[in-house]
Amino acid sequence: MQGTMQDVPLLISRILVHGSTVHGRSTVTTWTDEGPVRRTYAETGARSAQLAHALRGLGVAEGDPVGTLMWNNGDHVEAYFAIPSMGAVLHTLNLRLPATQLAFIVNHAADRVIIASGTVLPLLAPLLPKLPSVEHVVVSGPGDRSVLAGAGSGVRVHEYEELIAGRPTAYEWPELDERAAAALCYTSGTTGDPKGVVYSHRSVYLHSMQVNMAQSMGLTDHDTSLVVVPQFHVNAWGLPHATFMTGVNLLMPDRFLQPAPLAEMIETERPTHAAAVPTIWQGLLTELTARPRDVSSLTQVTIGGAACPPALMEAFDALGMRVCHAWGMTETSPLGTVARPPAQARGAEEEWAYRVTQGRFPAGVEARLTGPDGERLPWDGKSAGELEVRGPWIAGAYYGGAGGEPQRPADKFSEDGWLRTGDVGLISPDGFLTLTDRAKDVVKSGGEWISSVALENELMAHPEVAEAAVIAVPDEKWGERPLATVVLKEGASAGLPELRAFLAGRIAKWQLPERWTVIESVPKTSVGKFDKKVLRARYAEGELDVTRLQ
């Protein structure tokens, strides 16, 4: 027996049409030098249609990738919908990547059109001669256009507003295969070349529904979401698409990502929700401590991309901002887990034990743990192994380039098709994930594992520590031992012996680092994660002033 339901493709164009009609009065607000600029969802839908017509006029066809080198703003939201809805592929470009990696990504994807924020043109201009596939650059917002003069032979430059002006405000969106490519995002390439992940219309649609579930972000049209997580970072965690499903108002910070303007945005625009990596929130906390603001509207904060130190969660709890941990990666769209305590958790203490985990797997994500010898480990909250996942919004391969076959490297995918995340952790019987480390970052000392993340969290609980990163370094006796690199807060007086004594009271004695150093800042990746490979290289080159404490 077959079902009798209609077979309607799950397409991004349907999300756009729904949001711009049913939720037409919801708004996309962009923070600018001249104050907030607002567009309704209805206006965004009309402008998305105009952009689609304009791109078709530039020769963009179904299946063609269109690059966006943009901040989080209203124009970028329009590109998010116009490009996939017309059948092309949204290719978000990470403007914080090194120039060589950015050029590699554009060439690997063979982008013919790039839409760029005017303020990032100094980054794009020198690359254009190295990007043979690029024929058109569309410039959005303020910025010095003169840097593009002569930057690339044969590249035509267009003004975004002029290009869409006068175009029809309706578009006959094609009825696409829901499994067709909708968006392309590359990993940050911390080891080797970046790898492309191609999201389908179906995966984006299903992922958006999960983002909107009450036990995920659970936002409604009563909410305003401050989307700090970049739109070039895993589709801004799915928020632009998910919000058009439910009418959540969007507050987009553009290039104003420093703590002071973010505090001003919160005070002025009164968002109820925000999403960003922990380093953003650490800076905002410092700003609010030095210059208190009325941030009482912001009651829910989603933190992902890296483990959030419990001390930071406690500090935001004190401000009335409830932090909710989430875990994911480029290959998982990214929503993999969300740490909302279950109904069985009674009281603040039991809830806290769940909140500091990475969270519970939703129905769309299957998970398993694999031991070092390939054995399957139980969900007992004790057995630690590499996390592997699969599901309808989980990557099953990497993009092989124009005309290339999908790539399934053995270190990234199991023989039976599960994604090998590279994260080491354990899972409780009720499906809550606790990550103890990245497989490449765990300290293997004398046959035992030491979690670098656990040591970092305990160190950052010290009131005078701003940041801490722990790396494995060679040791003649134990094979590897932890090196603690610490960033002290301004005016701090704590010395390394005091920090070691503080840590000694919070961890097992054998895990206590002997090697310590104070640094100005922890190196970060393009998406704000601790870049430990840089620290390891600095140690190997003898650039760190290391003190040994016994």
Segment 437-451 mean pLDDT: 79
Residues 386, 390, 393, 399: is their CA dihedral positive or negative? Answer: positive
Neighbours of 262 (CB within 10 A): 25
Residue with the bigger pLDDT between 362 and 438: it is 362
- 187, 279, 302, 421: the catalytic one is 187
Residues 471, 477, 478, 479: is their CA dihedral positive or negative? Answer: positive
Residue 444 annotated in active site = yes
Residue 478 annotated in active site = no
Closest CA to 226 of 16, 24, 29, 78: 29
Rounded to 10 deg, the angle between the 12-21 and 74-85 helix axes is: 130
User: Please, are residues 268 and 36 in contact by the beta-carbon 8 Å criterion?
Assistant: yes
**pLDDT for 477:** 83
User: Please, are residues 246 and 221 in contact by the beta-carbon 8 Å criterion?
Assistant: yes
**pLDDT for 447:** 67
**pLDDT for 152:** 65
Q: How confident is the model at residue 383 (pLDDT cuts 50, 70, 90)?
A: very high
For the segment 209-259, what is each residue's pLDDT rounded down to a tens digit?
999 999 999 999 999 999 999 999 999 999 999 999 999 999 999 999 999
Tokens for 544, please give them: 């760190």
Residue 187 annotated in active site = yes
**pLDDT for 470:** 95
User: Please, are residues 236 and 362 in contact by the beta-carbon 8 Å criterion?
Assistant: no
The pLDDT of residue 51 is above 70: yes
CA 10, chain centre distance (Å): 24
The chain-wide mean pLDDT, for the chain, equals 94
- 449, 464, 524, 533: the catalytic one is 449
Segment 417-446 mean pLDDT: 90
Segment 311-332 mean pLDDT: 94
CATH of 441-548, one of 3.30.300.30, 3.30.2010.10, 3.40.50.1000, 3.40.50.2300: 3.30.300.30
**pLDDT for 191:** 55
CATH of 365-439, one of 2.60.40.1150, 2.30.38.10, 3.40.47.10, 3.30.930.10: 2.30.38.10
CATH annotation of 12-335 = 3.40.50.12780
**pLDDT for 265:** 97
Residue 224 annotated in active site = no
Segment 517-542 mean pLDDT: 90
d(CA 95, CA 10): 30
For the segment 61-73, what is each residue's pLDDT rounded down to a tens digit?
999 999 999 999 9
- 331, 388, 458, 467: the catalytic one is 331
Residue spans of the domains in the chain: they are: 12-335, 365-439, 441-548
Q: How confident is the model at residue 353 (pLDDT cuts 50, 70, 90)?
A: very high
The pLDDT of residue 189 is above 60: no
Sequence-ordered alpha helix ranges (H) in 475-531? 496-504
Q: What percentage of the chain exceeds 90 in pLDDT?
A: 83
- 444, 498, 510, 543: the catalytic one is 444
The pLDDT of residue 190 is above 70: no
Peptide bond into 259 cis (omega under 30): no
Closest CA to 358 of 425, 412, 311: 425
Tokens for 422, please give them: 């590279």
Segment 536-542 mean pLDDT: 92
**pLDDT for 436:** 84
For the segment 54-103, what is each residue's pLDDT rounded down to a tens digit?
999 999 999 999 999 999 999 999 999 999 999 999 999 999 888 888 99
For the segment 278-301, what is each residue's pLDDT rounded down to a tens digit?
889 989 999 999 999 999 999 999
Segment 391-416 mean pLDDT: 94
